[in-house]
């Protein structure tokens, strides 16, 4: 029996959307006020979904306490109260759009999960804008 | 890398559920108080989900500013503060159930999206009743 | 010991903002698209707050089951799936703004409460627009 | 045209996570404070999703009033204000994890639906922990 | 300049409403299914509001990190995943209605706050039922 | 008849908590990770409450379209997608705590309201931390 377990978490961070190899004008043309050089920020809400078989012994797909800890260590500690562009090595040359942040988070959590578990992440940048990614 | 970007919007509208070719009694029997001839209304909440490849240059699946504008022009302007039965040509001969409204919205947005993008809409009629449609 | 107990309820209704003694132009000038003659509608969310002493025997300010029933009879039954302008006698000559609806609801519930209980109502017309009224 | 209709419901219940054939120490080691022998409880939020063809006559996938009644009879009446471990025969020998509760609810509703309708349930144990199940 | 700072927290607990000095019939008559002898439970959501002067040096009414810790120690640790009737000395002879739980929480936090700060608590038993208490 | 009308809005901004006249160590000691020199950010949610008499002619305390515009001009345009410390003159020498931001917003809106209307603002820094201010 395959089920999906979901766990929510959040982090607050600053970012700006821009490419170093573009002029400020080009960045503003494409990314608008999101390219503000002084940064802006968000309360990112994250939902992590893990799909697998129920363990008949425990009744768990995976222990949500372990998933909570994994999200804390892989996402909340490194991302919370940080400037994504300036302080996260993953975004040194990668534009921190919601899409790219979701892919980075997915890759970090994927490495820590057992192979037989499927992973999907949903990332809210604002209550009205969000993205979902389930790998390739 | 395929991701899904989501954008929320809303509109307030009046409607009633009924078929012109049925008697009032038959309409009431099938649609209950939703068939009230004087109409009732809802704050419809809409989530539009677009799936496609990340553009490696921008880090976007599609520019959410453009998706916001598209929803505004195709849904919010024509539907907001309207009587769906009386003022929307799409529902002249189509019962404005949540299901049919979702299909109408999906068709309107589908026409404006590039072919390689997949589309799904979720429409909340109330916080407890909602529908999802992703085409055929 | 005075405490406040709160109970949420909701109803869906159609309405339009207008005055019969004004022209359509004047109504549109003042009330904008809310004056649409074909009506529009909302999912109204209602919070009723009752303040009084805790009954030391039951630990209740008032039995919330009774408050739930009272809101059902006084508000949900008469208002839900109705056209406020056309079907509610209270709005025959009263513009159904959120403010006026809140006052009407407050007056209806006030009559059914014991004198030593204070009453406040909060009415959401949309998730972004709401009013509160606690009598005079 | 296949669409999905969704209906939310809720129930409040007590439970504990434990296996009768394990010692208290083993139960605490695996389930932590969720194994408290005196029980704890939750406001469970349930979303039931039914997928099928739109009936061209009514514009419904299925009548949501009927789905609401079905959830009430199959889930809310038997589960609400109950102790899942002590009062529900389904959990006499089954650990009431969110996963197992979701499977039990899915099986109960599945039996009452027409064969050509697909079913998915989402169960929130807390606003941050939830599971989804769509059968096998 | 007096402002109010608010902090949300939550805990999950089992309880039943009843008086030891009443018969089961009397308890059921007054408290209905909430008097179930096997208990039921809730995800309690708590909002703590502290009013005082802004400290011109820090710009804080009080450090929210300290308020978060205080709520954790005084409420979350003793109440979370507990049976309020069986395991909390405060409810040994006090019916754990939302009203009484709010008063108990208010008293516990009040003792730990500086005298010049005012305190109000809001406690959600369910998303539709909640109480507020600000002392006497 | 005095009522209160409420309008919600939001803006996304970067900030850090610190005092220029303190060392980095002192700032970190008092403000913790909120003092990160690279900034972090939030989706600020704002509720503006205006209390006054109902105008018997319109049924409005004040036109919510005007309140919406006022909030847009006084708060959303200057604050959205900005770095509060670096780009807002109000915070040049004022620590942008939620308390101080609420006072600044209150003062800006207060100047634009008629004298006989009372004003209160509620500002959410995160879904769990928020402040309210109603002037002196």
What is the mean pLDDT, run by run of 10 residues, along chain E of 136 residues?
97 97 95 97 98 97 96 98 98 97 98 97 98 95
Question: How far apart are alpha carbons E58 and E5 in whole angstroms?
Answer: 14
Mean per-residue pLDDT over chain D, rounded = 97
Of C100, C132, C136, the CB nearest to F59: C100
Question: Residues C119, C113: contact at Cβ < 8 Å?
Answer: yes
Chain segment D93-132, per-residue pLDDT in tens? 999 999 999 999 999 999 999 999 999 999 999 999 999 9
Pairing between β-strand B118-126 and β-strand B129-133 as defined by DSSP bridges? antiparallel
Question: How far apart are alpha carbons F21 and F23 in whole angstroms?
Answer: 7
Of A2, A7, A54, the CB nearest to D129: A7
What's the rounded mean pLDDT across residues C100-128? Answer: 98
Main-chain phi, psi angles of F31, to 5 degrees: -105, -5
Short-list B112, B17, B121, B27, CA closest to B66:
B112
Main-chain phi, psi angles of F38, to 5 degrees: -85, 0
Give me the DSSP letters along D8-32: EEEEEEEE----TTS-HHHHHHHHG
Element (H, E) at C50: strand C40-53
F125 in active site: yes
The SS3 assignment for F16 reads: coil
ipTM score assigned to the predicted complex: 0.94
Chain segment C3-20, per-residue pLDDT in tens? 999 999 999 999 999 999
Chain segment F49-87, per-residue pLDDT in tens? 999 999 999 999 999 999 999 999 999 999 999 999 999
Question: Residues A58, D97: contact at Cβ < 8 Å?
Answer: yes
The pLDDT, as a whole number, for residue A96 is: 98
Please calculate the CA angle A77-A115-B52 and round it to the nearest 5 degrees.
75
Please tell me if residue E59 touches chain F, with a CB cutoff of 8 Å. yes
Contact D7 B133 (CB under 8 A): no
Pairing between β-strand D40-53 and β-strand D2-15 as defined by DSSP bridges? antiparallel
> Which residues of chain E make contact with C7, given a CB cutoff of 8 A?
128-129
Per-residue tokens: E75:
């409420």
E125 in active site: yes
The pLDDT, as a whole number, for residue F136 is: 81
Short-list B46, B80, B48, CA closest to B61:
B48
Per-residue tokens: D22:
């394990």
Per-residue pLDDT band for D136 (boundaries 50, 70, 90) equals confident
Per-residue tokens: A124:
């809210």
What's the rounded mean pLDDT across residues B98-105? Answer: 98
**Domain containing residue F64:** 2-133
List Cβ neighbours of F25 (8 Å cut-off, separation of 6 or more): none
Pairing between β-strand D2-15 and β-strand D82-83 as defined by DSSP bridges? parallel
Q: Which of F29, F40, F81, F86 is catalytic?
A: F81
Main-chain phi, psi angles of E53, to 5 degrees: -80, 145
The pLDDT, as a whole number, for residue D103 is: 98
Contacts 24+ apart (CB under 8 A), F119-123: F119/F48, F119/F49, F119/F50, F119/F51, F120/F4, F120/F48, F120/F49, F120/F51, F121/F46, F121/F47, F121/F48, F121/F49, F122/F46, F122/F47, F122/F49, F123/F44, F123/F45, F123/F46, F123/F47, F123/F98
Q: What subunits make at least 3 CB pairs under 8 angstroms with F?
A: A, C, E
Q: State the nearest Cα–Cα gap between C96 and chain B, in angstroms.
A: 14
> Which residues of chain B make contact with C96, given a CB cutoff of 8 A?
none
Chain segment C18-75, per-residue pLDDT in tens? 999 999 999 999 999 999 999 999 999 999 999 999 999 999 999 999 999 999 999 9
Question: How far apart are alpha carbons F13 and F76 in whole angstroms?
Answer: 10
Would you mind telling me the total number of residues written for chain D in this entry? 136
> Which residues of chain E make contact with D40, given a CB cutoff of 8 A?
12-14, 41, 80-83
Per-residue tokens: C32:
């904008």
Chain segment A65-109, per-residue pLDDT in tens? 999 999 999 999 999 999 999 999 999 999 999 999 999 999 999
Please tell me if residue A90 touches chain B, with a CB cutoff of 8 Å. no
Per-residue pLDDT band for C118 (boundaries 50, 70, 90) equals very high
Main-chain phi, psi angles of C98, to 5 degrees: -55, -40
Site from C81, C92, C123 to mutate, B interface, most B CB atoms within 10 angstroms: C81
Per-residue tokens: E106:
């208010």
H helical segments located in chain E: 24-31, 64-71, 77-79, 84-87, 98-110
Contact A43 F42 (CB under 8 A): yes
Question: Residues C33, B80: contact at Cβ < 8 Å?
Answer: yes
> Which residues of chain D make contact with E13, given a CB cutoff of 8 A?
40-41
Per-residue pLDDT band for A121 (boundaries 50, 70, 90) equals very high
Please tell me if residue C2 touches chain E, with a CB cutoff of 8 Å. yes
Q: Is A27 left (phi over 0), alpha (psi -120 to 50) or beta?
A: alpha
Question: How far apart are alpha carbons A115 and A111 in whole angstroms?
Answer: 9
Domain count across chain F: 1
Of C4, C57, C63, the CB nearest to E131: C4
Chain segment F82-135, per-residue pLDDT in tens? 999 999 999 999 999 999 999 999 999 999 999 999 999 999 999 999 999 999
List Cβ neighbours of D23 (8 Å cut-off, separation of 6 or more): none
Question: 3-state SS string over A73-104?
Answer: HHHHHHHCCEEHHHHCHHHCCCCCCHHHHHHH
Question: Residues B122, B49: contact at Cβ < 8 Å?
Answer: yes
Chain segment F7-51, per-residue pLDDT in tens? 999 999 999 999 999 999 999 999 999 999 999 999 999 999 999
Per-residue tokens: D120:
């998915």
- Whether the predicted pLDDT of C136 surpasses 90: no
Nearest CA in chain D to A7: D129
Question: Residues F100, E54: contact at Cβ < 8 Å?
Answer: yes
Per-residue tokens: A12:
């607050």
Nearest CA in chain F to A84: F40
Please tell me if residue B61 touches chain A, with a CB cutoff of 8 Å. yes
- Whether the predicted pLDDT of B136 surpasses 90: no
Ranking B75-79, D4-8, E132-136 by mean pLDDT, the lowest is E132-136
> Which residues of chain D make contact with B26, given a CB cutoff of 8 A?
none
Domain with F55 in it: what CATH number? 3.30.479.10
Question: Residues E97, C60: contact at Cβ < 8 Å?
Answer: yes
Of A41, A86, A87, the CB nearest to F41: A41
Chain segment D43-73, per-residue pLDDT in tens? 999 999 999 999 999 999 999 999 999 999 9
Contact F5 C100 (CB under 8 A): no
């Amino acid at each position: 029996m395959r089920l999906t377990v979901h766990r929510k978490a959040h982090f607050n961070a600053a970012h700006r959307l821009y490419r170093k190899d573009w002029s400020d004008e080009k960045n503003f043309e494409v990314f608008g006020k999101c390219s503000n050089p002084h940064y802006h920020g968000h309360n990112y809400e994250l939902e992590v979904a893990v799909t697998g078989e129920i363990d008949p012994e425990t009744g768990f797909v995976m222990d949500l306490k372990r998933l909570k800890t994994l999200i804390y260590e892989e996402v909340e500690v490194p991302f919370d109260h940080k400037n994504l562009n300036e302080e996260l090595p993953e975004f040194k040359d990668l534009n921190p759009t919601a899409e790219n942040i979701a892919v980075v988070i997915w890759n970090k959590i994927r490495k820590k999960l057992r192979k037989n578990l499927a992973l999907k992440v949903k990332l809210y940048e604002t209550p009205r804008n969000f993205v979902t990614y389930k790998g390739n």
